[in-house]
Amino acid sequence: MTLKFPGAASSHRLNRYPKTMLALVAAIAFQTQDKPAVDHSAEPALKQLFANAGMLHGAHVVLTFYGKADGDYYLQNRTDDMWVGANGELRLSSMSSMGDGSLIVTDGKTLMTDPLTDDDPIRLSKGGKALHLVAPREPMAFFLEGSAGYDALIDASSAITFTTASEGKKAIDCRAKDFGRVVIVYSDSAQNPLPERIDMFRSARRRDDGSEQPLATSKEFIRVVYVGPVKADLFNVDPPKGAKVEDNRNKPG
């Protein structure tokens, strides 16, 4: 008696499979192999920067922006003054080199957005938002939220690596979810370092879209002026008397 096992095949039966079918099986097997791990060698250092910034419960930070001109030359185009309170308060005063500006203030309950013009109204809306939602185009607002800001900003599926930096500095090259490639520079010798410069590689007007350039399109220099209690009146959200006001605080959403 001859025993036959299910699934057993002779060599001449295997040869009947078309070569294209065998090639397809091989291609599928190759694609299902484990992909190389993404390089996250600088991730602990980057997370520490967020943790350090997240401890600034009361601070005055000056942000100076330089936009790319010809070649590798950069021109200052904006300065922001940022005050951070102990309980989610924020005041962000922005002034460009052309003289136009804006003011964003939240006391935690109300968000006031002032375009600082006579033509447009001051807008009041519900507060209580995360800092990066109050100032979504400002990377430092994400840093000030600590680990929550890290999760909101950094694309963890991309590489997070150290890159070339000047003497006494370290630089981390990574990708932000909405900004694309960013390079974050900080002091190598500081005990609890904070970001000192953030380079972005997309157009300032198209942070969430557009192509990235080989050289940074903007450089943001960060200087912590003061750490400690901040006067409450800096977070006053009452519009000036006589100003045009659009009050959306009672609107749904």
Residues 145-191: tens digit of each pLDDT: 999 999 999 999 999 999 999 999 999 999 999 889 999 999 998 78
Q: Does residue 222 have a pLDDT over 50?
A: yes
Q: Looking at residues 88-105, what average pLDDT do you find?
A: 94
pLDDT at 209: 60
* Residue 90 CB neighbour total at 10 angstroms: 24
Question: Quick one: pLDDT band at residue 72, thresholds 50, 70, 90?
Answer: confident
Structural domain for 106, as ranges: 43-237
Percent over 70 (pLDDT), the chain: 83
| Alpha carbons within 13 A on the beta-carbon side of 44 | 1
pLDDT at 165: 96
Residues paired with 84 in a beta bridge: 59, 90
Residue 56 resides in a domain = yes
Residue 116 resides in a domain = yes
Are 58 and 228 spatial neighbours (Cβ–Cβ below 8 Å)?
yes
Residue 82 resides in a domain = yes
Are 238 and 95 spatial neighbours (Cβ–Cβ below 8 Å)?
no
Task: Kindly report which listed range (12-16, 118-122, 135-139) carries the lowest average pLDDT score.
Answer: 12-16
Residue 230 resides in a domain = yes
Task: Report how far residue 140's alpha carbon sits from residue 138's, in angstroms, rounded to the nearest whole number.
Answer: 6
pLDDT at 29: 52
Residue 126 resides in a domain = yes
- Compute, in degrees rounded to 10, the torsion defined by CA atoms 121, 126, 128, 132: -50
Q: Does residue 206 have a pLDDT over 70?
A: no
Percent over 90 (pLDDT), the chain: 71
pLDDT at 160: 98
pLDDT at 137: 87
Are 223 and 240 spatial neighbours (Cβ–Cβ below 8 Å)?
no
Residue 90 resides in a domain = yes
Q: Break the chain down into helix, strand, coil percent, rounded to 5.
A: 20, 35, 50
Q: Whole-number mean pLDDT of the chain?
A: 87
> For residue 109, what is the domain's CATH number?
2.50.20.10
Domain count, the chain: 1
Residue 250 resides in a domain = no
Residue 24 resides in a domain = no
